[in-house]
Amino acid sequence: MSPLSTAQQLPVEVIARIFLHTLFDDDQDGWENGNELVGWDSSSGAAPLALVCKAWYAPATALLYDSVDIRGSRAALGFLTTTRKRPELLKLLSSLVVGLGRLEDVADGSLGHVPASFVIMEVLESCSIVDQLVQLQIRPLHVAVGPRLAAFLARVKPRALVMSDRVVRPSPPWCHGLFDAVSWAEVLQRAERYDLDWDMEAVPLPLPVALPTLRLQHCSLRVSAEPEVFYHFYGALSGAHMRILRVYAEQTFPPKTLASSLAHLTRLRHLRYLCNPPLDHSPPLDPVLNPPLIDLLLPYLRRLETLDVSATEMTTRIFSDLPHTLRSVKINVFTPNGFAYTSSMADGLRNSPHSLEELVIVDSRARWATSDVEELDKACEERGIRFVFINDDLRAADFPTTSDEESASASEGFSDEEAVVRRD
């Protein structure tokens, strides 16, 4: 009998840790797009490791079934065949992503989206025996499985639930109504995290009906819906539990109404609110009389640590009274109007009692006067703030500047290669 190698003699916990570092770049298998969680990596790369030797089989198998990503009927049938022979493997499951395959997920449904959806549904139903799914992501399925999907969600208790549409493309007509039978009040009341990236016609968001208090700690919304739906949902969030809120919207909501629906989230630590309105959007004529969202909301969020916001939702007046806990502010400019910079921003950074460590501005350099950038840079330097200006001329290419002379003046101080101005 040949002696065991060093690798074969390692404890199972050590082997599992090595495998984890081999398969993933870090210990977190969640992956994000624009700071929004949209899925998890599959552990399928662990399959060859299970064949190396007996000592590696158990830890590799545990890792293989810890995070499963099933796209399409072929993968679903393979999963069902294996787990029906060895049902104990289902107890290893922690994270699950399901959706149709690339050829099945076509707009006209000509390549089998209906039968594929039913096979995917069998996978989900087989996982009902899992005591606690940590993470569950569901991509578009045919509306015909809607009642079975509603029954499944009523049984399982995922701590993190992700509803993500197809990347870039809108949801297909054949999935509209998929979530009509779901009792979101019951499903979301048990969850700690809810991420939603879906278009308006199939939005899995609770409609304005009576909702219990939702004890979500983390919520990300990238969805089109009527303002009343958002107000209703925000109002149901527990101020005692909510810590992270990320929102991307393509329409502006009345700031006062929106702020009042969010003001109770006083324990919020991280806020990302990006609004990318139509190009013909006009900002309020007088932001003093009609203050934007963040100006109204920030006085209530005194435990905030990071703020990522679009320029349409704030004025420079917020820098005169930043929460003491705030460490990072990022301002994103999406409109041709640019960022309404005033010297009060630099004054606030210099003189107000804050603990800011980083300021990031994403905008076209052509819309900034060199003197304004220098003033802001100097104010940050005086307070030890890291200042980053990300030149976003690619996105701003369609936004004309006032004149060629103004554009040339604003570009002074920036080299052609340099897209970022930093102060460390």
| pLDDT by 10s per residue, the chain, length 424 | 454 444 555 555 555 555 555 555 444 444 344 444 444 455 555 554 554 565 565 566 666 667 788 888 888 998 899 889 888 888 878 888 888 876 555 544 445 788 889 999 999 998 887 766 788 888 888 889 999 999 999 888 788 888 876 544 566 778 888 888 888 888 888 889 988 876 645 556 655 567 788 899 999 888 776 777 788 889 889 999 999 999 988 878 889 999 999 999 999 999 999 988 776 666 665 667 789 999 999 999 999 999 999 998 999 999 999 999 999 999 998 877 667 788 889 999 999 999 999 999 999 888 888 999 999 999 999 999 999 999 876 544 444 443 333 333 333 333 333 344 544 5
Residue 198 forms part of a structural domain: no
Which among 366, 363, 362 is positioned nearest to 400, based on CA atoms?
366
- Beta pairing partners, 307: 271, 329
- Phi, psi for residue 270 in degrees, rounded to 5: -135, 125
Quote the number of domains for the chain.
Answer: 1
Residue 107 forms part of a structural domain: yes
Q: Which structural domain range is residue 66 located in?
A: 1-174
> CA dihedral in degrees (223, 226, 231, 232; nearest 10)?
-100
Residue 201 forms part of a structural domain: no
pLDDT value at residue 407: 36
Which secondary-structure segment (H or E) carries 98? Answer: strand 95-99
DSSP E strand stretches across 315-385: 328-332, 358-363
Which are the contacts of 394, defined by CB distance < 8 A and separation ≥ 6?
A: none
Which among 125, 223, 121, 105 is positioned nearest to 175, based on CA atoms?
105
Which among 390, 335, 395 is positioned nearest to 359, based on CA atoms?
390
> CA dihedral in degrees (239, 245, 248, 250; nearest 10)?
10
What are the residue ranges of helices labelled H in 28-112? 54-66, 73-85
Residue 295 forms part of a structural domain: no
Question: DSSP assignment, residue 279?
Answer: T
Question: DSSP assignment, residue 183?
Answer: -
Residue 288 forms part of a structural domain: no
- In the chain, what are the helix, strand and coil shares in percent, each to the nearest 5? 40, 20, 40
Which are the contacts of 125, defined by CB distance < 8 A and separation ≥ 6?
A: 148, 152
Which region holds residue 92: left if phi is over 0, alpha if psi is between -120 and 50, else beta? alpha
Residue 44 forms part of a structural domain: yes
Which secondary-structure segment (H or E) carries 198? Answer: strand 193-198
Residue 350 forms part of a structural domain: no
- Beta pairing partners, 221: 196, 247
pLDDT value at residue 385: 95
Beta carbons of 202 and 176 less than 8 angstroms apart: yes
**Three-state SS for 245?**
strand
Q: Which pair of structure tokens corresponds to residue 235?
A: 């109002």
Q: Distances in Å between the alpha carbon of 225 and those of 141, 150, 207, 256? A: 20, 21, 10, 18
pLDDT value at residue 392: 78
Return d(Cα 145, Cα 1) in angstroms, integer: 55
Residue 383 forms part of a structural domain: no
Q: Which pair of structure tokens corresponds to residue 77?
A: 């049938």
Return d(Cα 203, Cα 222) in angstroms, integer: 10
pLDDT value at residue 29: 41
Return d(Cα 280, Cα 384) in angstroms, integer: 38
Beta carbons of 221 and 248 less than 8 angstroms apart: yes
Q: Which pair of structure tokens corresponds to residue 73?
A: 């009927």
